[in-house]
């Protein structure tokens, strides 16, 4: 619009900017009551091991429904919460909920999958983050092996040596670590090799273009090879078509997550999905993302 020039173009542009600035303030204001008002919930999206078709993980994803019934997508409110610091309280709530839910599923006999929690770099860099993870696991009696923490490449900016030390402490609790949205951020390939990471998550932006954009296919292959070289797994996000799946399986991707397999589910619907996929088969063990209990 702005490019077309003229009076109307600029007017539109300015109104749009003003709208988003005030919307931002409203979101920040409403976020303050969102948790106590019980407006936040978690969905759990299955992650499938491609070789076996088993669910080896579920990613916890935040959903916010405001008092007036409107939904605010996480891509809209998470960046605001990161800037305002509200992500600390939100993140603590998410970890608490996800660990509690995983413990309940464990008590119901579902042994072999991890719950993956997104952790913002703002949260990661708080002094008490590692302690918070330790005490949350202990309070619920959940083995660390059943928790995965998804970090982004941003955590390694600034103080990569310290980030690596913190990751080692988390690994000491048994927790799995993955790098989310890999390929979109500031990859420090030299540090990647020193980081105690279990998997790289290939961003949906690349998966989306499989079959459409040969350069994005090349990026997918490169990430899978890179992970293979350093001996870790790959999880593709946004797997939507059989063609995506075929490409990923052919190129040795470990796991996938996306609408082709399952949408993010209500926690109460997960056990049925696990049964349906045979993830809880007694005595089942396989390599990769299985967690011993």
Q: Which residues bind Mg ion (CB under 5 A)?
A: 118, 150, 180-181, 201, 203, 237
Q: Which of 174, 113, 173, 182 lies closest to 150 in space, CA to CA? A: 182
- Name which of 56 and 118 has its Cβ closer to Mg ion: 118
- Of 22-30, 71-79, 170-178, 185-193, which part binds ligand C2E (CB under 6 A)? 71-79
If one asks whether residue 237 binds ligand C2E (CB under 6 A), the answer comes out as yes
Q: How many residues bind ligand C2E (CB under 6 A)?
A: 22
If binding is defined by CB under 6 A, does position 74 make contact with ligand C2E? yes
Q: Which is nearer to ligand C2E, 32 or 284 (CB)?
A: 32
Which of ligand C2E, Mg ion, none interacts with 74 (beta carbon under 5 to 8 A by kind)?
Answer: ligand C2E
Minimum gap (Å) between residue 117 Cβ and ligand C2E: 7
Contacting residue, 62, 137, 155, 163, with ligand C2E by CB under 6 A: 62
**Binder to ligand C2E among 47, 56, 97, 120 (CB under 6 A)?**
120
Any contact of residue 181 with ligand C2E (CB under 6 A)? yes
Give me the least distance between CB of 45 and ligand C2E, in Å please.
6
Residue whose structure tokens are 């078709």: 53
Whole-number Å distance between alpha carbons of 199 and 227: 7
Applying the rule CB under 6 A, the residues between 130 and 169 that interact with ligand C2E are none
> By rule CB under 6 A, what string of x and - marks binding of each residue 77-116 to ligand C2E?
-x------------x--x----------------------
CB distance 39 to 66 below 8 Å? yes
């Amino acid at each position: 619009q702005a490019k077309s020039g003229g009076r109307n173009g600029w007017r539109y542009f300015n109104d749009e900017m003003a709208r988003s600035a005030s919307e931002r303030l409203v979101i920040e204001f409403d976020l303050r009551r969102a948790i106590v008002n019980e407006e936040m919930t978690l969905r759990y999206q299955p992650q499938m091991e491609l070789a076996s078709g088993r669910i080896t993980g579920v990613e916890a994803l935040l959903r916010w429904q405001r008092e007036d019934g409107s939904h605010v997508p996480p891509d809209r409110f998470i960046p605001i919460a990161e800037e305002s610091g509200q992500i600390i309280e939100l993140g603590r709530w998410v970890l608490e909920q996800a660990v509690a839910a995983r413990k309940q599923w464990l008590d119901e006999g579902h042994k072999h999958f991890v719950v993956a929690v997104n952790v913002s770099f703002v949260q990661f860099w708080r002094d008490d983050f590692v302690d918070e993870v330790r005490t949350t696991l202990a309070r619920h009696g959940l083995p660390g092996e059943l928790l995965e923490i998804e970090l982004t490449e941003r955590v390694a900016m600034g103080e990569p040596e310290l980030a690596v030390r913190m990751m080692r402490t988390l690994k000491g609790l048994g927790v799995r670590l993955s790098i989310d949205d890999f390929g979109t951020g500031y990859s420090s390939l030299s540090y990647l090799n020193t980081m105690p990471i279990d998997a790289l998550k290939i961003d949906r932006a690349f998966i989306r273009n499989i079959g459409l954009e040969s350069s994005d296919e090349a990026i997918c292959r490169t990430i899978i090879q890179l992970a293979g070289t350093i001996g870790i797994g790959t999880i593709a996000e946004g797997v939507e078509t059989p063609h995506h799946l075929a490409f990923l399986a052919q190129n040795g991707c470990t796991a996938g997550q996306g609408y082709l397999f399952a949408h993010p589910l209500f926690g109460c619907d997960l056990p049925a999905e696990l049964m349906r996929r045979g993830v809880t088969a007694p005595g089942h063990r396989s390599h990769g993302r299985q967690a011993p209990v």
